[in-house]
Copies of this chain bind each other. A is one copy, B any other.
Amino acid sequence: MSRFWSDTTRRISPYIPGEQPQDKEYIKLNTNENPYPPSPRVFDAINRALSNLRRYPDPEGMRLREVIASYHNLEVQQVFVSNGSDELLAFAFMAFFMPDRPVIYPDITYTFYEVYASLFKIRNTLIPLNEDFSIDIKPYCTNGAGVIIANPNAPTGITLNLKEIETILASNPDNVVIIDEAYIDFGGETSYGFINKFPNLLVVQTLSKSRSLAGLRVGFAMGSQELIEGLCRIKNSVNSYPLDRLALEGAIAAIEDDQYFQETRQRIINTREHIKPSLREMGFEVLDSKANFLFISHNALHAGTLFRELKDAGVLTRHFQRPRIENFLRVTIGTEDEMRAFLSLTKDIIKKQHKSLDKKIHLI
């Protein structure tokens, strides 16, 4: 704490991203990165953009917005681009929510929402997920507050279907509803088709996961022209040029190479579905994730123990020490090889625990 800090700086509890340890080479299943590299076209595009680095990029990122608009059959004024989708969500909280227009979201979801609400002093209400971690949409249909829902939800991976999203949108004519689709390309149903029907819908996506570009920082939003204009106003009051020339060109190439995108995302979906039964056989509850991660809980081995044992063995996963989910582990879907290694190590750890348990029982 410093006497120079503003009230805001004192009040906030910053977000803590997943660890990126440098001490050794890990099988990294902790931050939902894509196990496959980005499209080869990305590298060519970035190389071409190198010649003009001394010049400012286009502050509005128009060419990237056009490519995203055309891909989704929208107008360019319905698309906003940003330096990763986290920045975009921060802008959206500033642009559309406020103390007297509060925001609601699930008690278990992306923890950054809590951070934004605190940073911008926005009143927020957390709606408990059902016992099975699914979302009951009723509390979101009161037209009493803005809504932000991750679909698929994180870290559960569970989705809402389009009928449910439509019900939320239709019952909130006076509030912005943000659907955070960071993980949508791994099996959920995207809601951007509702944009022309519901001016209160903002769909947020990212190139970090399904386009393998976590290292390039590109997110985008799709919504009515008035919502996009609101985001532009905030962005132009914080940073005129949030996307550098290389990120803009790399992102365009990644969106344009649709075949590569379809192939790699399908591979990840296949791997995910392939390991679900193996995990269940080993005694895990496996939530029905449609994301590039699984959220799992073992019937005998505590998630905290498994997390530490896996880390010691060179596999990083993510363990959230929070109510309701402290006995779950979030495991990113890696390559087939990585997941085989993860399964085999996990099997060993469980066996070892059983043995030590048997020994204890024997001693009694």
A positions within 8 Å CB-CB of B = 2-9, 12, 14-17, 20, 28, 31, 33-38, 42-43, 46-47, 49-59, 83-84, 86-87, 90, 94-98, 101, 115-116, 118-119, 174-176, 199-200, 208, 212-217, 226-227, 229-230, 232-247, 250
Contact = CB atoms under 8 A, between A and B. Distances in A.
Contacts of A50: 43, 46
Given A5-B95, A28-B55, A83-B242, 13 more contacts: A4-B200, A5-B96, A5-B233, A8-B234, A9-B94, A9-B230, A14-B237, A31-B56, A37-B54, A83-B239, A216-B244, A217-B241, A217-B244
Contacts of A53: 37-38, 42, 212-216, 250
A213 B14 CA distance: 30
Nearest to A43: B50
Contacts of A16: 236
B17 A56 contact: yes
11 contacts: A6-B98, A12-B237, A15-B240, A35-B54, A43-B50, A53-B250, A57-B215, A83-B83, A86-B240, A116-B237, A119-B237
Interface centre among A4, A9, A37, A247 (most CB of B within 10 A): A4
A216 B246 contact: yes
Contacts of A8: 94-95, 98, 234
Nearest to A207: B53
A237 B121 CA distance: 12
Contact of A230 (B5, B59, B98): B5
Contacts of A229: 2
A143 to B, nearest CB: 13
Interface of A: prevailing SS = loop
Contact of A54 (B33, B176, B199): B33
B6 A118 contact: no
A119 to B, nearest CB: 5
A98 B230 CA distance: 23
Nearest to A14: B236
A13 B299 CA distance: 57
B245 A216 contact: yes
Contacts of A84: 239, 241-242
B212 A4 contact: no
Contacts of A230: 2, 4-6, 9
Contacts of A36: 54
- The 10 A-B residue pairs whose C-beta atoms are closest, nearest first, are A14-B236, A2-B226, A215-B245, A54-B212, A53-B215, A87-B239, A217-B244, A17-B240, A6-B98, A56-B214
A37 B53 CA distance: 7
Interface centre among A31, A36, A95 (most CB of B within 10 A): A95
Nearest to A209: B54
B98 A7 contact: yes
Contact of A176 (B4, B14, B47, B250): B4
B4 A96 contact: yes
B101 A6 contact: yes
Nearest to A49: B215
A247 B230 CA distance: 28
Nearest to A82: B239
B83 A54 contact: no
Contacts of A58: 20
